[in-house]
Amino acid sequence: MENQKLPNATAVLVLGIISILTCCCYGIVGLILGIIALVLAQKDMQLYKASPEKFSNYSNLNVGRILAIIGVVINAVSLIYFIWIIAYFGMEALQDPALMQEKMKQLQGM
């Protein structure tokens, strides 16, 4: 019997890479993609553990899962950072450069 490929291994790998690349999109897009990749990876890992001799591309699945974990962590930190920026400076300061400079000077103690 010929080895089969895990059904979602390539998708998990692609989603893991994209979740890292989209960390600058306020953390939301990459976080969603990373979570989807982790769910798909979990399903394929259960399938692989049931009969490992049937499948040949477990390494792609494992790399994709690791990239998805890294992407989720980076995007979660990024999202928390952007929420902190909005909470600390406020939306008004983010939209008005002069007010933002004033708040930055206050932050620096000038």
Lowest pLDDT segment from 2-6, 28-32, 47-51: 2-6
Q: Quick count: other Cβ atoms within 10 Å of Cβ 15?
A: 25
Q: Would you state the pLDDT for residue 94?
A: 86
Predicted confidence (pLDDT) per residue in 81-110, tens digit: 999 999 988 989 889 999 999 988 988 987
Q: Would you state the pLDDT for residue 39?
A: 98
| Mean pLDDT for the stretch of residues 57-78 | 96
- What residues does 55 pair with on adjacent strands? 4
Task: Give the Cα-Cα-Cα angle 38, 44, 50 (nearest 5 degrees).
Answer: 135
Q: Would you state the pLDDT for residue 87?
A: 93
Residue 55: helix, strand or coil by DSSP? Answer: strand
pLDDT confidence band for 21 (50 / 70 / 90):
very high
